[in-house]
Structure formats: structure tokens, C-alpha cells
Amino acid sequence: MKPTSTSANTLVLSRAQLAQGEISLPGSKSISNRVLLLAALAKGRTRLSGLLDSDDTRVMLAALRQLDVKLEDHGDGRLDVEGGLAPSSQRESIFLGNAGTAFRPLTAALAMLGGHYHLHGVARMHERPIGDLVDALVGIGADIRYAGNEGYPPLDIASGSIRGGQALKVKGSVSSQFLTALLLASPLCTASTGHPLIIEVEGELISKPYVLITLNLMARFGVDVQREGWHRFIVPAASAYVAPGELAIEGDASSASYFMALGAIGGGPVKVRGVGSRSIQGDIAFADVLQRMGAVVQWETESVQVSGVQVAKGERLKAFDEDFNLIPDAAMTAAALAMFADGPCLLRNIASWRVKETDRIHAMHTELARLGAQVESGPDWLRVHPIADHAWRDAAIETYDDHRMAMCFSLASFGPARVTILDPACVAKTFPDYFQVFHSLIQEQSA
Ligand SMILES: O=C(O)C1=C[C@@H](OP(=O)(O)O)[C@@H](O)[C@H](O)C1
Ligand SMILES: C=C(OP(=O)(O)O)C(=O)O
């Protein structure tokens, strides 16, 4: 199917009938940015393959280059990283866009490393909370000041005096990236203090599978963290990262959700290469949601295939009522699929949506309603009533500079309305050629 572009800033989607074929995913954002930092902190050279090339990884790479980390780009997602990140001798002003996976981990690493840094991002990044991470770091002697509003970036980081021997406490109810950041940086602390680092999570921890990605990758670089449930993490004294030699990055499981969804509503089969039953990413659990909605999912070790109903012929997916705390990113894809369900769908426990690229509960509510859906929402939930055939309205979908809004609403092309995506280029945060890959799977309706 060919998209009709009315201008560089809008994309009119043709009405889709079927989705079928195979695609290869771009690299995982979560893994790419973690291994870039791990490799920079490690002893030795790491040879990465499958690295994501998108806005979020570009800001991480630019930051590492600015910090004098030696990177050798061999093209096509292959990059060598020479470890040994050292404190900067001059104040560095580092731009990190809207990449949470760059901003939070670098805050912890640079605060523990020493040197002077100013970390900043796009306007929205300056509205995304970081206070719980800063409090945790200041609690063990880091020197971090707010350069704008208290609790938010931009940040000024100076050399503090990191103390060992006391537990570091962090809240995990706003973002799991704060705990991830402390874990990734922890060997810098155990090296300078000679003590183990004990991290205690206060209260609830959200998005837990992302912490498992962190622990898994730290182990690949030679640091084994002892985990006691979800409330206590012990990083042994004298832990140090060692380059694992070669490391292949999996495809992005959150990006996979859009194509799996296409198989579920466009008949399929759609085969997605790059994530499979061996994936370390929690978002593969989205396939279970699809199964409960009536799709057929087949796993292989490095791919997944989804077939389903044909909503363009009037068939429907089964409605759902689910807690999405463990897979907040793929959950947005489920919200979009609710348009094609056989009853109201409830997404629960998604408060973190409010502080991501945009207020995603508000954005999703507003844009689904624009297409004709009846939608209700609260502080941490969203209820979407499916859109009856006669209720669909032609709409230009606002994307709020949120890549996932643009990618989710591509699924609306299976409805009977004319759908325009505004600012489709915002997908560059994690998936610059999303719409090309999307169109390669779609067969449009005959006029
Ligand atoms: O650690 C990570 O790689 C991520 C953690 C999640 O954030 P929260 O922990 O803030 O929910 C997720 O939404 C984000 O896209 C990536
Ligand atoms: C929340 C997201 O990004 P970030 O890593 O910036 O938090 C996301 O990609 O959906």
C-alpha cells in the first residue's frame, strides 16, 4: 500500500484491508542505550551489532563522544566501543533530547564518576520528573542541582563525595528508570568506596521487567547483582564491568507490538523477526494480550508470528480488562486495538503514561475520541469503547511529539474513516522508518 503524503508534516493513510508478510525489527532502544553506557564504563572493547539508529540512541552516542569515549562505527548497527569513561576535565553541557534511557542513567553515572556537567533536553524532558533519582544520589553524597524547576531537568552535576556503607534508598513509583540508572552506575560507587552498594526500593516499583533487562545486561558485563524480591538489590564490593567482546542487540519488543497488532486485525500472518521466545524484553508479553483478544501467536526463538481476525470485514477482537503496569509502552498499542474490540476495554495501572513523551492518557483519550470512540479516563486508567462502523469519523490525529501516538494510530487505517497522521516524523525517537515498514505489510481496500 502506498501512503498519500499531503505534505512533509502529514500522512494520509489509505484504507487498509489486510496485513501480511515479514519484517525485521530495528534494535531495542532499551537494550541499545543500556549497552552503550555499560560498554563505555567497561574495561576493554565491546563490539556491538544490531544497535538502534534513532533520536534516542543518537543523543546517547553524541554524549559519549563528547565525554571522549572512543567509538568506531562500522555501519549497519555495528559499533565498537572502547571502555574507560573518565571524569571530564572541563564543564560539559550535554543535550539528551527526550531520551529517558539516556538522561536518567547518565545522571547517575556522571554524578558518581566526578567532573562537572550540565544535562539538558527538549522542553518536554524538562517536564519529566527526575527528583526521586536526584534525591537518592544526593543521599549518598552526590552534588546535583536543579538548573530549572526543582524535581526536573535540566541538572547541574559536580564532583560530590560518594559515601559507601549505607543503603541507598530510591522510590520506584514514578519510573523504573531511576532504579535502572542507579544499578547501571553502581560499579562506579563500589569502586570508589570499596563497599558493596545496597539499593532499597521504597514503596511500589513500576515497570519491573525493565529492571530485569538492566540486571541481565549488567551480568553480561560481569556484574552480578543479588536481588531480594523487588525491594533490595545488592551490588558486591569491587564490582567492575568487563567488556563481553561481542554483543548482539535484539529487536525492539515495543516496536514489535504494532506489527503483531497488524497481524491480529489484518488477518495475517505477520512474522516479526528480531524478538522471539528468548527475548529479555518484558514487552513480548503483549503477545499474550493479543492471544486473549483472539489472535493466534506462534513463537520461534528469534521471531514471532501473529494471525487474527479481519476487522475490515467487520470481524472483531475480544474486549479486555487488564493491568498494564508491566508493559506500559506496548499498552498503548492495546488501547488503539480497542477501537476494533467487541466491547469496552479497560487499561488499568498506567499512571506512568502521564509523565512520558506526553500525557499519554490525555493524548490517547483525545485522539481516540476524535475518531469517534467513546472514551473515559482517570488518574491511572483508560476505558475505550469500540467504534461502531457508523460512528467512525474522518480525523487528523495529533501526535504530541510522541512516537508511540503516531505508530499506534497507524492501526486506525483499518477503520472505515479517512485518517491523517500529523507530524508522522516524530517516530524518529525510536523507529525512523516506521511508516515504510508499516506500508510494506498492508494491502489496501479496493475502491
Ligand atoms: O528502562 C527502560 O528502558 C524503559 C522503562 C520504561 O519507563 P518507566 O520505568 O518510566 O515506566 C519504558 O516506558 C521506557 O520506554 C523504557
Ligand atoms: C517512555 C518512553 O521513552 P523514554 O525511554 O524516553 O522514557 C517510550 O519510548 O515509550
Tens of pLDDT, residue by residue over 191-229, are 888 899 999 999 999 999 999 999 999 999 999 999 999
Q: What is the ipTM of this complex?
A: 0.99
SS3 389: helix
Q: Which residues are annotated as a binding site for phosphoenolpyruvate?
A: 29, 100, 128, 177, 360, 404, 429
Mean local confidence (pLDDT), 299-313: 98
Task: Give the chain's mean pLDDT.
Answer: 96
Contacts of 316 (CB under 8 A, 6+ apart): 309, 340, 341, 342, 386
Q: How far is CA 308 from CA 214, 275, 295, 316, 318, in A?
A: 33, 19, 4, 10, 11
Q: What percent of the chain has pLDDT over 70?
A: 98
Which positions ≥6 away from 219 have C-beta within 8 Å? 225
> How do residues 62-112 score in pLDDT, each as one tens digit?
999 999 999 999 999 999 999 999 999 999 999 999 999 999 999 999 999
CATH 3.65.10.10 maps onto the chain at 4-27+252-444, 29-248
Q: What is the pLDDT of residue 1?
A: 47
Question: Lowest-confidence range among 158-167, 295-304, 311-320?
Answer: 158-167
Q: Give the pLDDT confidence of 244-266 residue by residue, as tens digits.
A: 999 999 999 999 999 999 999 99
172-197 b/e (C-beta count within 10 Å ≥ 16 → b) = bebbbbbbbbbbbbbbbbbbebebbb
Residue to mutate (ligand 2; options 28, 29, 32, 125; most atoms within 8 A of CB): 29
At residue 8, the pLDDT reads 65
**Atom of ligand 2 at shortest range from CA of 30:** 5
Average pLDDT over every residue of 9-22: 97
Annotated catalytic residue, options 132, 252, 283, 329? 329
Per residue in 262-288, pLDDT tens?
Answer: 999 999 999 999 999 999 999 999 999
Q: What is the third-level CATH fold of 4-27+252-444?
A: UDP-n-acetylglucosamine1-carboxyvinyl-transferase; Chain (3.65.10)
Alpha carbon 346 to its chain centroid, in Å, reads: 22
Tell me which DSSP letter residue 153 carries: S
Per-residue model confidence (pLDDT) at position 445: 86
Which of the four CATH numbers 3.40.50.970, 2.40.220.10, 3.65.10.10, 3.40.1080.10 does domain 29-248 have?
Answer: 3.65.10.10
Q: Is the pLDDT of residue 447 over 70?
A: no
- Quote the CA–CA distance of 141 and 136 in Å, as a whole number: 9
Identify the band that residue 7 occupies on the pLDDT scale cut at 50, 70 and 90.
low
- pLDDT (tens digit, 9 = 90+) per residue, 109-140? 999 999 999 999 999 999 999 999 999 999 99
Residue 346 scores a pLDDT above 60: yes
The side-by-side arrangement of strands in the sheet containing 419-422 is 4-7, 10-13, 419-422, 395-397
76 included as an active-site residue: no
Do 191 and 238 touch, CB atoms closer than 8 A? yes
Atom of ligand 1 nearest to the CA of 329: 13
> What is the sign, positive or negative, of the torsion defined by CA atoms of 387, 391, 395, 398?
negative
